[in-house]
Chains A and B, each alone.
Chain A
Amino acid sequence: MNKLQNNKAWLFVLPVFALVAFNAIIPLMTVVNYSVQETFGNNEFFWAGVIWFQDILQSERFHASLGRQAIFTASILAIEMPLGVAIALTMPRKGPWVSVCLVLMALPLLIPWNVVGAMWNIFALPDIGFLGHMLNAIGFDFNFTRQPGDAWFTLILMDVWHWTSLVVLLAYAGLSSIPDAYYQAAKIDGAGSWAIFRYIQLPKLSRVLTIAFLLRFMDSFMIYTEPFVLTGGGPGNSTTLLSIDLVKIALGQFDLGPAAAMSLIYFLIILLLSWVFYTVMTRNEEQ
């Protein structure tokens, strides 16, 4: 009797196993499979061991992409986190303007990523784009398709425009969950607005900001669509972030082995860094 029940239970769990296998384990194992083999076509594969991993880890090209990726992610985090909190602080807490602000804030998040890329590409074009044209009109020699610095400027501006809203919405939700009594108590103590921010709002926000930070870190580290549409990784290789580089290797050169090895390394870097950030940030909270 007992045994029968146990067997029945398997039937209920099996669909979940199948689902997880199809959407996670099988694709991942395919990549693992490619990463340890060599092929010369004809669907013939040879064991290659860890050669591809060694190649990737020693390749200048990978180091350069990783460096660009790190600079990109660090820059947008450094801008979006404080900016998001600052905007959330200025948003009204009550009244009819709340919904207006929230809808305006949510708008960029609702636009498909490749549309964002296309929008900013056109927006920043030096001849016909509003931004590019205006910058040139006021005396800047701005051309994001030719000058790496301008390409980076546009890229970061685009990401800040697109994703700061997420931080704003999360921080705003965190701020609205602080009871009024905290502000009153601080007022009675004679605390100024900086003290209120530093000793009440920031500690109360630490949880949602941890989430916002992790989401923005992971998303920006994986970013592909927008820079691909905006600059295509150029000019030269100057905005070739990790994912763009990966697609070039996998689909441009069709080097499946190195591409698979790079995917796994890429994945492990994100996993490791997310874990490190999460551990550090939650430990601070516990202290």
Chain B
Amino acid sequence: MTLTLKGVTKRVGNVVHIHPTDLTFEPGSFNILLGSTLAGKTTLMQLMAGLERPLEGEIWFDGRDVTGMPVQQRNVSMVYQQFINYPNYTVYENIASPLRVARAPEDLIRQRVGDMAELLRLTPMLDRLPGALSGGQQQRTAIARALVKDADLVLLDEPLANLDFKLREELRDELPRLFADRNCIVVYATTEPTEALLFGGNTATLFEGAVTQFGPTREIYRKPNSLLSAQVFSDPPINVLACEKQGAHFVDAEGARWAANGPASSLLDGPYTLGIRPHFVTTAATGADPVPVSGRVMVTELSGSESIIHFAKGGKTWVSQSHGIHAFEVGAEARLHADFAQAMYFAPDGALAAAASARA
């Protein structure tokens, strides 16, 4: 029951929506499509579902070519960002609808709908119409509808994006549990790197219609194959700095010098782009060899336990993510410390040259 995309592309008019894409999803896997809005997540899902036909390439499922097969003949279910339910069906009938289409016997329907409602805590709402439910309950109904028919492929297109913060956290915790004992392929689209990290599984990073990398989520986070993948998989955005390796040290245009250690020490001399995640740029010095960095503060976002400081450094915007509340004035000089031992180095063409935490 493996799903394979082979060189799939999609164009509308002259606009390329999906560049040639190869992906393989194993049964029982949880796969995340990570990318910003318009990166092609939804289009890719529609291609997988059979709602759209690829321009080129093939889609194989369970050893069969299903490229032209309409969605009705595939065993697919999908949950959308909007809460999609039949407006004049009760929650019970909504959950039952895929089984009714499949002409399942009545007692089986009752049992499956009951199980689903129990699992998604919808039992008290079974007689209500979707319009009378909260957003979270509406989306849980849609999820129940997607799960009730034991689909081989479950597509979740930013299902939590329209929910408020609390409900989102709640459902985010529930989701992996729902798929734990199923053998289906789950594909989950999201714009949020943190969500990808929470779910684990596999991640495909998408940028402007192209998959830049695909593999186990944590591995991609630790060792992105390119600056682009690192940028897609970083929130707040990853900080970049042009630098040059000279012997055992790196130097940047401002004259800062730091030691090349770990995998970076074996790099050839020459120009590199350094990438460092915001939580390694902090108000307090950490690591063995902290390098001072400074810049004019543009804005500071405070959350309960940490400060996100945006500052200008060498014509670029840098972001620091520091513990505690640090209220910098806008325009003030922020003097921070970067733990460049944790940095990644990218070659001039953007490919990863060395990542500190990667175990090669």
Interface residues of A (CB under 8 A from B): 179, 181-182, 184-185, 187-191, 199-200, 203-204
B78 close to A188 (CB less than 8 A): yes
Q: Report the interface size for chain B: residues with CB under 8 A from the other chain.
A: 21
Cβ of B145: which chain A residues have Cβ within 8 Å of it?
A: 189
Query: Within B299-321, which residues are at the interface with A (CB < 8 Å)?
Result: none
Tell me which of B78, B84, B88 contacts A199 (CB under 8 A).
B88
How long is the Cα–Cα vector from A232 to B1 in the complex, in angstroms? 74
Cβ of A200: which chain B residues have Cβ within 8 Å of it?
A: 86-87
How many A-B pairs with Cβ below 8 Å? 43
State whether the Cβ of B101 lies closer than 8 Å to any Cβ in chain A. Answer: yes
At the interface with chain A, which of B69-77, B239-247, B254-262, B271-279? B69-77
A206 to chain B, nearest CB (A): 8
Tell me which of A181, A182, A185, A190 contacts B101 (CB under 8 A).
A190
B72 close to A187 (CB less than 8 A): yes
How long is the Cα–Cα vector from A179 to B101 in the complex, in angstroms? 22
Residue of B nearest to A179 (CB): B82
Query: Within B69-119, which residues are at the interface with A (CB < 8 Å)?
Result: 71-72, 76-78, 80-82, 84, 86-89, 97-98, 101-102
Tell me which of B46, B88, B89, B102 contacts A184 (CB under 8 A).
B46
Residue of A nearest to B102 (CB): A190
State whether the Cβ of B180 lies closer than 8 Å to any Cβ in chain A. Answer: no
B236 to chain A, nearest CB (A): 30
A-B CB proximity, top 9 nearest: A181-B80, A203-B88, A203-B87, A190-B101, A190-B72, A185-B84, A199-B86, A181-B84, A189-B98
How long is the Cα–Cα vector from A199 to B100 in the complex, in angstroms? 14
Describe A's contact surface by its main secondary structure.
Answer: helix
How long is the Cα–Cα vector from A213 to B81 in the complex, in angstroms? 33
Residue of A nearest to B97 (CB): A189
A184 close to B78 (CB less than 8 A): yes
Cβ of A184: which chain B residues have Cβ within 8 Å of it?
A: 46, 49, 51, 78, 80
Cβ of A191: which chain B residues have Cβ within 8 Å of it?
A: 101
Cβ of B87: which chain A residues have Cβ within 8 Å of it?
A: 200, 203-204
Tell me which of B72, B76, B82, B86 contacts A181 (CB under 8 A).
B82
Cβ of A190: which chain B residues have Cβ within 8 Å of it?
A: 72, 98, 101-102
How long is the Cα–Cα vector from A182 to B145 in the complex, in angstroms? 13
How long is the Cα–Cα vector from A179 to B145 in the complex, in angstroms? 18
How long is the Cα–Cα vector from A204 to B76 in the complex, in angstroms? 25
How long is the Cα–Cα vector from A187 to B49 in the complex, in angstroms? 10
How long is the Cα–Cα vector from A204 to B88 in the complex, in angstroms? 9
Residue of B nearest to A202 (CB): B88
Cβ of B102: which chain A residues have Cβ within 8 Å of it?
A: 190
Query: Within B39-85, which residues are at the interface with A (CB < 8 Å)?
Result: 46, 49, 51, 71-72, 76-78, 80-82, 84
Tell me which of B72, B80, B88, B89 contacts A185 (CB under 8 A).
B80
Cβ of B46: which chain A residues have Cβ within 8 Å of it?
A: 184
Known: A184-B51, A199-B89, A203-B87. A189 touches B82 (CB 8 A): no
How long is the Cα–Cα vector from A203 to B84 in the complex, in angstroms? 13
Most chain B CB neighbours (cut-off 10 Å) among A179, A184, A188, A204: A188
How long is the Cα–Cα vector from A159 to B61 in the complex, in angstroms? 56
For this complex, 22 residue pairs linking A to B, each with C-beta atoms less than 8 Å apart, are: A179-B84, A181-B81, A181-B84, A184-B46, A184-B51, A184-B78, A185-B84, A187-B51, A187-B71, A188-B51, A188-B76, A188-B77, A188-B78, A189-B97, A189-B145, A190-B98, A190-B102, A191-B101, A199-B86, A199-B88, A200-B86, A203-B87
Cβ of A181: which chain B residues have Cβ within 8 Å of it?
A: 80-82, 84
Known: A179-B84, A181-B82, A189-B98. 13 other contacts (CB 8 A): A179-B82, A181-B81, A184-B78, A185-B80, A185-B84, A187-B51, A190-B72, A190-B101, A190-B102, A199-B88, A199-B89, A203-B86, A203-B88
How long is the Cα–Cα vector from A188 to B102 in the complex, in angstroms? 12
B340 to chain A, nearest CB (A): 46
How long is the Cα–Cα vector from A199 to B145 in the complex, in angstroms? 15
A195 to chain B, nearest CB (A): 8
B89 close to A188 (CB less than 8 A): no
B43 to chain A, nearest CB (A): 12
Cβ of B77: which chain A residues have Cβ within 8 Å of it?
A: 188
Cβ of B88: which chain A residues have Cβ within 8 Å of it?
A: 199, 203
B201 to chain A, nearest CB (A): 22
A189 close to B101 (CB less than 8 A): yes
How long is the Cα–Cα vector from A181 to B51 in the complex, in angstroms? 11
A143 to chain B, nearest CB (A): 48
How long is the Cα–Cα vector from A182 to B97 in the complex, in angstroms? 14
Residue of B nearest to A284 (CB): B88
A179 to chain B, nearest CB (A): 6
Cβ of A179: which chain B residues have Cβ within 8 Å of it?
A: 82, 84
How long is the Cα–Cα vector from A267 to B236 in the complex, in angstroms? 65
B49 close to A188 (CB less than 8 A): yes
Residue of A nearest to B98 (CB): A189
How long is the Cα–Cα vector from A203 to B93 in the complex, in angstroms? 15
B76 to chain A, nearest CB (A): 6
Cβ of B82: which chain A residues have Cβ within 8 Å of it?
A: 179, 181
A180 to chain B, nearest CB (A): 9
How long is the Cα–Cα vector from A187 to B80 in the complex, in angstroms? 13
How long is the Cα–Cα vector from A187 to B97 in the complex, in angstroms? 12
Cβ of B84: which chain A residues have Cβ within 8 Å of it?
A: 179, 181-182, 185
A113 to chain B, nearest CB (A): 37
Residue of A nearest to B49 (CB): A188
Cβ of A204: which chain B residues have Cβ within 8 Å of it?
A: 87
B94 to chain A, nearest CB (A): 10
How long is the Cα–Cα vector from A188 to B82 in the complex, in angstroms? 16
